[in-house]
Amino acid sequence: MANATMETMQPEITPQYAFELLDQLGEIVSRASAAILAIPVSQLGERAKDDQSPVTKADEAAETIILEGLARVLPGVPVIAEESAARAPRRVDGSCFIVDPLDGTKEFLASRDEYTVNIGLVTRGIPIAGVISAPKQGLLWRGAVGKGAERLRLSFPAPPSQASERVQIKTRTAGDELTAAISRTHLDAKSEAFLSGLKIGKRYGCGSSVKFCHIAQGDADIYPRLAPTSEWDIAAGCAILTAAGGRVTDPDGGELRFAAGAEKFLVPGFVAWGDPALTRRD
């Protein structure tokens, strides 16, 4: 399973053990998804956080379920979660979970079906496994690096073993023109300029980490966001996309690092690629 050094006393989860955990992590995400769906719009209690982003009782209910579930599955493994980030360890040298209990709160409040629940598992700064659900779509994606990825159709809060559909997913080889998934609300000038240098045949706007899942299942080729981004927004998506055959790089084409002590748990930006060959440009 996991190793721990006497110096850090932090567990280190291997990719093989991460793969074995996917059913349990999927069950936690399924229960969190059901909790979000169960809260009436009239009882969401929307308010603005310090950064002016919205938060609701659904975000908090989902995070409570996830934190309790992770503590039960792997007690002692640190968790960096959006709504309790102030209490999270600033740096983790072994393994940790990175959690967004409700990614795309704006989409959620607008009654769109794109919002997601995310659990990413990181070892030595690299996402090695992830689970993402889209509660309103009844879909759950999961994967472990080196072990592949899949999409499940679930009636939340059912466990993954009760999926009505299970499909192995894989990224596609890029064609002459690329399909770009872009952020509906966070498309920045640098990302726009980056896209202008590529042969884009189609682009579409979408909220949340579900864009990583679209690339992982071969529906899109690229998703750039060349502006600072919270780690919990992308850790699970990075793992699933990598497991499906894709790659996620920093803005300079290098490796993204997570839980490494970044201010406010931010990465400098990223580009998600379905076809890794596209990252090897002369």
Last residue of a domain, one of 138, 169, 200: 169
Count each helix (H run) and each strand (E run) in the chain, helices first.
Answer: 7, 18
Percent of the chain exceeding pLDDT 90 equals: 80
Contacts of 115 (CB under 8 A, 6+ apart): 36, 102, 103, 104, 105, 107, 108, 134, 135, 136, 207, 208
pLDDT of residue 259: 94
In the three-class reduction of DSSP (H, G, I as helix; E, B as strand; rest coil), residue 57 is classed as helix
Both 65 and 189 in one domain: the answer is no
Asked if residue 159 and residue 22 are part of one domain, the reply reads: yes
Same domain, 97 and 70: yes
Mean of pLDDT values over 31-37: 97
Neighbouring CB atoms inside 10 A of 174's CB total: 18
Of the pLDDT bands very low, low, confident and very high (cuts 50, 70, 90), residue 2 is: very low
The pLDDT of residue 281: 54
Q: Are residues 161 and 205 in the same domain?
A: no
Q: What's the whole-model pTM score?
A: 0.93
* Whether the predicted pLDDT of 193 surpasses 70: yes
Range of the domain at 103: 2-169
**Where is 222: in which H helix or E strand?**
strand 222-225
Please choose, from the candidates 141, 122, 121, the residue with its C-alpha nearest in 3D space to the C-alpha of residue 133. Answer: 141
- The answer on 152 and 200 residing in a single domain is no
Q: Are residues 206 and 266 in the same domain?
A: yes
Q: Is the pLDDT of residue 37 over 50?
A: yes
pLDDT at 24: 98
pLDDT recorded at residue 282: 41
Final residue belonging to a domain, choices 102, 135, 169: 169
How buried is 13 (Cβ within 10 angstroms: 0-12 exposed, 13-18 middle, 19+ buried)? Answer: buried
Kindly indicate the confidence band of residue 11, based on its pLDDT and cuts at 50, 70 and 90. Answer: confident
Domain-terminating residue out of 140, 169, 198: 169
Asked whether 132 and 144 are in contact (CB, 8 A), the reply is no
| The predicted structure's pLDDT at residue 160 | 98
